[in-house]
Amino acid sequence: MPFSYKVISTFFVVISTSFTVFAQTEYSISGTVKSQVGLDPIAGAQIFLNGSTIGTLSDGDGHFTLSGIPEGAHDLIVQSLGFESVTSLIRTDHLEDGYSFIMKEKVYNLDEITVKPNSQDWKYNFEQFRKMFIGVGPFSKNTKIKNKEVVNFDFDLDNRTLNAFAYETIEVENKDLGYRIFFFLESFEIDYKSGRFFFYGQTFFEEMSSRRKKTRNKWKENREKAYLGSFAHFTKSLIDQKIVENGFVVKAEKRDDDARYLYTDTVPQSQFFHQVDSSYYEYNFVNFLNVTYENEYEDITYLYSIAKPFDSNPRLLSDYQNSSITLISDSVLVDRSGFILDPTSILFDGYWAFEKLSDMLPLTYEIPADLAE
């Protein structure tokens, strides 16, 4: 049965973060995809870079060539229906001559494939899932899950948790940003006790096309809006040492039970972000970083999402976009293009937690030159 609790304060685990990638050297790799049983070639397997538009399919002999790989580190994903997915971290400074991926057949539980989209419980749970997965931001209304019947749910009444899983790729169409998104869901949970939620998976983006110039210009405008002020924009600004010029203000934050303490002085980036070597940078700090983006105000839908039930005096005026981040591990590595080696090691609160799949851009998104200056 559904459990009517409102998730008021949420943390969002980063799944696949998009960053600006400027013109640079491109690489390619080749290899084979085979079944563990009999080492038979797997035709039509999807091989792609997580969070990007870069992908290909294996041929009848299981061979593939993946081109257009930007410099840096990437999660390479291999997917095929009926097999467990394979993830491999590749670095363009340590590429192999040939890759061989062996895939295990996937065993499905009956509960995973028994979906009841017409039941009232399923409809209620799907609506909770959609809000947390797609979001409720400015691009959410025109972002649709095309095959919602592949999603199923398990509600634990004792622990008050809702878990979602999908036995096939979740196909999403975002008509405001002009992308089809193929999401391979690995984990999704809403914890109504703590008011937290997370989801995890891999994404592949496909550019939509339109003959209408007005539509293409709208996509360009919306993509820029989605990027500016995002965590992707923040990280790239740190790498370029332009956080002040790009409108970001960073302060230290501490929390004690229900209280939050914000320091008045700004924190120089040398105290929480530095270059490790020629390829990698590192986030390293304790407690929380409080980040305000002063070049853009909060969307009105954000104010609606944070309003508490029965609040007689809700905040109605938009302020600058404000977010908090904390680290699960001691530090987090990113490469020169902004790729996060372990994206699940960062938790978000505030505006960046509000931004979800409907706001997501691919790794290969490039901000126009006039905005990058």
Q: Based on the fold, state whether residues 60 and 182 are members of the same structural domain.
A: no
Domain end call among 53, 86, 103:
103
151-156/63-70 β-pairing: unpaired
Number of alpha carbons in the 13 Å side-chain half-sphere of residue 245: 10
Instruction: Specify if 248 maps to a domain.
Output: yes
Q: Based on the fold, state whether residues 161 and 180 are members of the same structural domain.
A: yes
Domain range for residue 36?
26-103
Return the percent helix, strand and coil in the chain, to nearest 5: 20, 40, 40
Between CA 335 and CA 274 the distance in angstroms is 11
Domain end call among 103, 126, 147:
103
Q: Based on the fold, state whether residues 234 and 343 are members of the same structural domain.
A: yes
**Per-residue confidence (pLDDT) for residue 291, from 0 to 100:** 97
**Per-residue confidence (pLDDT) for residue 335, from 0 to 100:** 76
**How many distinct structural domains can be found in the chain?**
3
Quick check: 182 and 202 in contact, CB under 8 A?
A: no
Q: Based on the fold, state whether residues 327 and 293 are members of the same structural domain.
A: yes
pLDDT in tens, the chain (373 residues): 443 333 334 444 444 444 444 446 789 999 999 999 889 999 999 999 998 999 999 999 999 999 999 888 888 999 998 888 999 988 888 898 899 999 999 876 655 555 556 688 899 999 999 999 999 999 999 999 999 999 999 999 999 999 998 988 999 999 999 999 999 998 899 999 888 888 888 899 999 999 999 999 999 999 999 999 999 899 989 999 999 999 999 999 998 877 889 999 999 999 999 999 877 899 999 999 999 999 999 988 888 887 766 555 666 677 999 999 999 999 999 877 667 778 778 888 899 988 899 999 987 787 766 555 5
Between CA 283 and CA 241 the distance in angstroms is 14
Instruction: Specify if 241 maps to a domain.
Output: yes
Q: Based on the fold, state whether residues 286 and 357 are members of the same structural domain.
A: yes
Q: Based on the fold, state whether residues 244 and 156 are members of the same structural domain.
A: no
CATH code at position 71: 2.60.40.1120
